[in-house]
Amino acid sequence: MQIVAIHNIESGVGKTSTAVNLAWIAAKNGLRTLLWDLNSRAEAGLFLGANSDPNTRMSNELAGRVTLADQIIGSDYENLAVVPGRWAYRNLEQLINGAADPRRVVKSLLKPLADEYDLVVLDCPADEPELADSVLAAAEIILVPLIPGPQALDGWQHVLDICRNSRLPVSSIYPFLNMIDYRIQLHREWLVVAPAELPRLFSAYIPFAHAVERMSITRQPVAESDATDRVADAYQALWQELKRHLDEPVSDS
């Protein structure tokens, strides 16, 4: 089982959209995929038809034996299951606050599922520093969506700082550009200069696309609702690049 976190402390940069579309592509490619929505607003599952409540075993919760397996629900798609966000809100903070080593919490919750899933995609919340440590420690690869502009560099620096403060390797953190609007000069410039400024920047990037905005209406990944839109190809390219890194051992640089 491999774990990928889509993370940025900044809000509204495309974490959930990316997590949903990448998880869908992974599942379509035959990987048994779990999308874990770590947000309290529980949005990610809605895009995948996973909108029921988990069949929570109340006795387990009452007895304090909270397992992630109890919280998994199916989606509209083969090979793709979801942990809806509400659970993160209710239980995860509690577990992290009460843990001797909070950094191990996410990883140890996933451990019992190692034989059931090939890939876990973590849709991270913005601005949850306690959770960030645990999520970043669990993930083999951390993808950081960045929208061109000065704030992007702050968001990027923030992820690096969390990792350095927690003595986590930064070599597994990869930024990529999202919401590229070719009409905006700054965005066109970033496509040229960002590779030199941002280490490990993915060459794949996601254009600004109404198909992504419409996900809140279609309630589907873009390749289901707008298969011919170029943004569907862009998510494919992002997946291919991610997959290459997942298949390679990470070098510690």
Ligand X SMILES: Nc1ncnc2c1ncn2[C@@H]1O[C@H](COP(=O)(O)OP(=O)(O)OP(=O)(O)O)[C@@H](O)[C@H]1O
CB 234 within 8 A of CB 205: yes
Q: Which is nearer to Mg ion, 31 or 44 (CB)?
A: 44
The site map against ligand X for 119-138 (x = CB under 6 A) is -------x------------
Interaction between residue 16 and Mg ion (CB under 5 A)? yes
Q: Which is nearer to ligand X, 9 or 66 (CB)?
A: 9
Interaction between residue 75 and Mg ion (CB under 5 A)? no
Interaction between residue 21 and Mg ion (CB under 5 A)? no
Q: Using CB under 6 A, which of the segments 9-17, 63-71, 101-109, 189-197 binds ligand X?
A: 9-17
Q: Which positions from 138 through 157 interact with Mg ion, judged by CB under 5 A?
A: none
245: Cβ contacts below 8 Å, ≥ 6 apart: 141, 174
Q: Which is nearer to ligand X, 113 or 206 (CB)?
A: 206
**Quick one: which of 21, 39, 134, 172 contacts ligand X (CB under 6 A)?**
39
**Quick one: which of 5, 10, 14, 15 contacts Mg ion (CB under 5 A)?**
15
What are phi and psi for residue 207, nearest 5 degrees?
-75, 160
Q: Which positions from 180 through 219 interact with ligand X, judged by CB under 6 A?
A: 206, 208-209, 212-213, 215
Q: Using CB under 5 A, which of the segments 8-16, 91-99, 113-121, 243-251 binds Mg ion?
A: 8-16
Q: Which is nearer to ligand X, 1 or 208 (CB)?
A: 208
Interaction between residue 17 and ligand X (CB under 6 A)? yes
CB of 102 to Mg ion, least distance (A): 22
**Quick one: which of 179, 194, 238, 242 contacts ligand X (CB under 6 A)?**
179
Residue 56, CB half-sphere, CA atoms under 13 Å: how many? Answer: 17
CB of 44 to ligand X, least distance (A): 8
Q: Which residues bind ligand X (CB under 6 A)?
A: 11-17, 39, 126, 178-179, 206, 208-209, 212-213, 215
